[in-house]
Structure 1
Amino acid sequence: MAKDEASAAKVKAGGNDGDKPSRVPKKAYERELLRLQADLVQMQEWVRDTGARIVIAFEGRDAAGKGGAIKRVTEHLNPRVARVVALPAPTERQRTQWYFQRYIEHLPAAGEIVLLDRSWYNRAGVERVMGFCTPEEYQRFLRQCPIFENLLVEDGILLCKYWFSVSDTEQARRFSERAGDPLKQWKLSPMDLESITRWDAYSQAKDDMLIHTDTAVAPWWVVEAEDKRAARINMIHHLLTSVPWQPVQRAPLALPDRPAGSGYVRPPREIQRSVPDHAATLS
């Protein structure tokens, strides 16, 4: 699967190992992204108006572009409606809980959208490959996960699961870019670096995960992410077509007239602490 995934990505990109993949033209990307984001705002209003509950799980290879896609989804949304959940490693206490327990408290209430920047599928990926769970815990997860997701969907939660796929060549290029960029070095964790030497193991883990958890009730959708722009556009478009939202009609907003002053006098600025005007020093 490792070579199949890499080869498919190269064919899609139209190049060989050393070639940079072709990209959606920037202007076309920005134009379509803005249109889709306007629809996301409309979808958000539908969620808030109807009390719908949506969970979107983002999984995939390290450096496949999950974070960038999440950022574009939420860029214009109300953080009180759409929130991102990116859980750290479990605590000692959480390790003694039922595996799904710490995720349950982050599920949406009515009128909310939750975006999971990695999810309970950590057990099927990094925990399995790195030996952070026992074989028995892993097998139990594969049995329980479809049941758990069936319960969520049965209760009315709209569950969308996206796997971001990228070739080994493109992943290495992105890792190298991050390593040389002080603004992006924080994105490279020891676990990310370890994934370089365990490409085939992660490929096998992904294949096994899909076999057991790609169900009719909660299917997996693979996002080809060799081109980040295309991946974002395709993922957002698919999300918008997967959720049965409708435009919500709102009454036009009318700004009230400002009333006449009541004699209020602002205190002198000198008695307040002001942020230094660093901008004035710029040429």
Structure 2
Amino acid sequence: MNPPASPADLDRIKEEISDDFDEELELELEDARLEDVEGIDDEEFDLEARRSRRLDRRVYFRELFRLQHELVRLQDWVVHQGLRVVVIFEGRDSAGKGGAIKRITQRLNPRVCRVAALPAPNERERTQWYFQRYVQHLPAAGEIVLFDRSWYNRAGVERVMGFCSEDDVEEFFRSVPEFERMLARSGIILIKYWFSITDEEQQFRFALRIHDPLKQWKLSPMDVESRRMWEDYTRAKEAMLDRTHIPEAPWWVVAADDKKRARLNCIDHLLSQFAYTDVPKAAVHLPDRVRHDDYIRHPVPDEMYVSAKF
């Protein structure tokens, strides 16, 4: 039996929980800071109207932490049931996929829930069966894999940027429904999200990246080119959704012009796809530490310590 926590211990516990929540607060303060960077044209983007539409921070945090608690319950249930779950996140550049993924994984065990974000294929991978490099990232029992972009690259950036032929695209559209049905037959639960933003919203987010030195690394030459080819990407997206929306793995569209609402709506919908319940757990009791008379803890030399500047 573990002894009851003392008042001092309870205070420490509260501090630790507060520090944990501060991690999310830091991310949100970063988002807020982006709208105040120099160089953004207030008149062009109507920043005051954008700020007035923001979801109340208290509401956002309350709902986010509630949903993250449910994600932990879902994680435990997936492990207990030995399920294999794949969640695909697709959308235009700057649509907010990464932010949603970050909030999903934030409180979860990385050994259970991991992210697959594959780089461009190398020379060898280009000669393989198209789906081959994705297959190796599929989950084993009790695992959740979030694909930050996926095999749907072929229907999007590869097609629009001319990295593959139209014959390749047509073969992809013939193959992907069968590939995903095969995954479903094998017992993998496949959920697909498209994060949808407007032309104006992407323009605004790109402008933020241009003027913010902490975000400029996110704006690649490919991203810049994608702005010019907005309509080509739209046609490619429409064809993709039309030809790969199947009963075994339907597409779900997340309205993502408002990042906070998009995150909450996506997580809430993801949770709704599972009839998860609480998993029975054995009580955990901390044993007394074993102490030996001959144990001596040797001091660490001062020069080995990191400077305490803060």
TM-score, length of structure 2 as denominator length: 0.82
Q: Deviation of residue 261 (structure 1)?
A: 4.0
Q: Which has the higher contact order (CA 8 A, sep 6+)?
A: 1
Q: Deviation of residue 111 (structure 1)?
A: 0.6
The one of 86, 90, 114 aligned to 1:59: 90
SS across alignment from 1:236:
helix
Q: Deviation of residue 104 (structure 1)?
A: 0.3
> Retained in 1: the 8 A contact 2:209–2:218?
yes
Matches within 5 A, 1:220-239: 220-239=251-270
Task: State how far apart, in whole Å, the 1-side matches of 2:59 and 2:167 are.
Answer: 49
Partner AA of 1:67 in structure 2: G
Whether 1:172 and 2:211 are equivalent positions in the alignment is no
Whether 1:127 and 2:158 are equivalent positions in the alignment is yes
The one of 214, 233, 236 aligned to 1:202: 233
Matches within 5 A, 1:58-207: 58-207=89-238
Partner AA of 1:140 in structure 2: E
Task: State how far apart, in whole Å, the 1-side matches of 2:92 and 2:151 are.
Answer: 15
The one of 247, 263, 278 aligned to 2:278: 247
Gaps of 5+ in 2: 1-43
The equivalent residue for 1:20 is 50
SS across alignment from 1:113:
strand
The equivalent residue for 1:211 is 242
Task: State how far apart, in whole Å, the 2-side matches of 1:127 and 1:270 are.
Answer: 55
Matches within 5 A, 1:271-282: 273-279=304-310
| 185 and 17 in structure 1: CA distance in 2 versus 1, 3 angstrom threshold | closer
Whether 1:38 and 2:69 are equivalent positions in the alignment is yes
> Retained in 2: the 8 A contact 1:23–1:230?
no
What does the per-residue CA deviation read over 1:44-72, in whole Å, with 9 as the maximum and x for residues that have no partner? 11111111000000000111100000000
Runs of 4+ in structure 1 over 6 Å off:
none
> Retained in 1: the 8 A contact 2:82–2:141?
yes
What does the per-residue CA deviation read over 1:210-230, in whole Å, with 9 as the maximum and x for residues that have no partner? 110011111000000010000
The one of 299, 304, 307 aligned to 1:268: 299
TM-score, length of structure 1 as denominator length: 0.90
SS across alignment from 2:114:
strand
Q: Deviation of residue 17 (structure 1)?
A: 6.8
Q: Deviation of residue 20 (structure 1)?
A: 2.2
> Retained in 1: the 8 A contact 2:180–2:249?
yes
Q: Deviation of residue 247 (structure 1)?
A: 1.4
Q: Deviation of residue 138 (structure 1)?
A: 0.5
Q: Deviation of residue 260 (structure 1)?
A: 3.4
Aligned length, in residue pairs = 264
Task: State how far apart, in whole Å, the 1-side matches of 2:294 and 2:254 are.
Answer: 61
Higher mean displacement: 262-271 or 89-98: 262-271
What does the per-residue CA deviation read over 1:201-249, in whole Å, with 9 as the maximum and x for residues that have no partner? 0000000001100111110000000100000000000000002322112
The equivalent residue for 2:31 is none
> Retained in 1: the 8 A contact 2:77–2:279?
yes
Gaps of 5+ in 1: 1-15
| 89 and 253 in structure 1: CA distance in 2 versus 1, 3 angstrom threshold | same
Task: State how far apart, in whole Å, the 1-side matches of 2:198 and 2:293 are.
Answer: 66
**RMSD of aligned alpha carbons:** 1.5
Higher mean displacement: 267-276 or 99-108: 267-276
